[in-house]
Structure 1
Amino acid sequence: MEHCEHPSTVLTVLTCSNGTQQYKRHCRRCHQAVGGAVKKAEALRENPYPPPFDVEARERHWRELQERWQVQHRIQSEDAELEQRQWRERYEQHLGSPEWRRAVALVHKRAGGLCEGCLQRPATQTHHLTYLHMGQELMWELVAICDECHRRISEKSHA
C-alpha cells in the first residue's frame, strides 16, 4: 500500500497478551514497530516513563490507508470504464464511416472474396488483427474472414 521510511521513532512500552512488557521503538508516522525489542535497562535510561504503545493509532493509520487505496482503486476503475466507453463510441463511429467501408472493400478484394482464415468459405466480415491504428488502419492489419472463423477467433480471445 504505502511504504514508510520511519523518519521519526518514539520509545514505547507494549503490553503483550500474556501481561509482559516489551520496550520498542515505534514510527510516529505509521505507528509500526521499528526494529526489535529494546532491553529494559536501556529503555528506562533513555526514558524512565515511556508512553504505552498506541494500538488504536496503528489500526486507525492502516484503516485510513485502506480507505485511501479503495478510493484510488474506484477512481482508476471508473477512469478505465470511461476510457473503454469512449473507445467503443469512437470504434462504432468508425465502423459507420466511408473510410471503413472503403477499407472493407479493399480487404475483401485482396482476399478474392474468400475467408483468409479457412480459405474455403466466403468472407463475410473484416477483422482487425490490431486496433493500434484504429481509424487509420494499414490494410495488412485487416483480414477478410467468414462467420465461423470469426467465432473461433472470438472464443480464443475470451478464453
Structure 2
Amino acid sequence: MNYVSYISSKRWRTNAARVRELAVAQGKCRLCSGQQPLEVHHRDYHNLGDEREGDLVALCGECHREVTCFLRRRKYETRKPLSADVRSMRDTRMLLCDPTREEDDQ
C-alpha cells in the first residue's frame, strides 16, 4: 500500500481507529496536552490500511515531528553512512581557480 496516497484518502480520514483515537484524545495532544490541531501518528506500520486500537496516537504537529525525528534517529543511528557521490578534489573537470584572472596575476 502506498503510504502517501493512503494518508490523503477518504479511507484514512474515516478510519474507525483514527476517529476513535481523536475522540479519546478529546482535542488534546497525548504528549504535551496542548490543544493545537491534532495529527494521528502511526506507532508502527504493520497494520497500515487496517489500523487497530493502539496502533495510532493523537499528537499536535510539533510533538508529531519530535516523535518522528526521534524514531528515525534511533532507527538509523547504528547504520554506517553510504559514500556520498561527490567529485574528488583532484577531478580536473572542477575549476580550482578564478577563470577571470590572468595566469600572471595568480
**What range is the shorter-chain TM-score in?**
0.5 to 0.7
Count of matched residue pairs:
71
Change (3 A) 1:119 1:151: same
**Structure with the larger helix share:** 1
Q: State how far apart, in whole Å, the 2-side matches of 1:142 and 1:127 are.
A: 5
Q: Which has the higher contact order (CA 8 A, sep 6+)?
A: 2
Match of 1:110 in 2: 24
TM-score by length of 1: 0.40
Asked if residue 97 in structure 1 is aligned to residue 15 in structure 2, the reply is no
Contact 1:126 1:144 in 2 (8 A): yes
- Partners of 1:128 and 1:98 lie apart in 2 by 17
Deviation at 1:106, TM superposition (A): 2.6
Which of 29, 51, 60 is the equivalent residue of 1:146?
60
**Structure 2: runs of 5 or more not aligned:** 74-106
Tell me the CA shift for residue 108 of structure 1.
Answer: 0.9
In our comparison, the structure showing a higher alpha carbon Rg is 1
CA distance in 2, matches of 1:129, 1:107: 12
After superposition, residues 24-103 of structure 1 pair within 5 angstroms as 90-103=2-15
Decide whether the 8 Å contact of 1:125 with 1:144 is kept in 2. Answer: yes
Structure with a larger share of its residues in strand: 1
1:122, 1:146 within 8 Å by CA — same for their partners in 2? yes
Residue 123 of structure 1: CA displacement? 4.4
Counterpart amino acid of 1:101?
R
Residue type of the alignment partner of 2:45: Y
- In structure 2, the residue matched to 1:121 is 35
What is the CA deviation profile of residues 74-122 of structure 1, one whole-angstrom value per residue up to 9, with x for unaligned ones? xxxxxxxxxxxxx5xx111211222210133332112111111222333
Task: Report the Cα distance in structure 1 between the residues aligned to 2:37 and 2:43, rounded to whole angstroms.
Answer: 15
Identity of matched residues, %:
30
Residues of 1 paired with 2:35 and 2:67: CA distance?
15
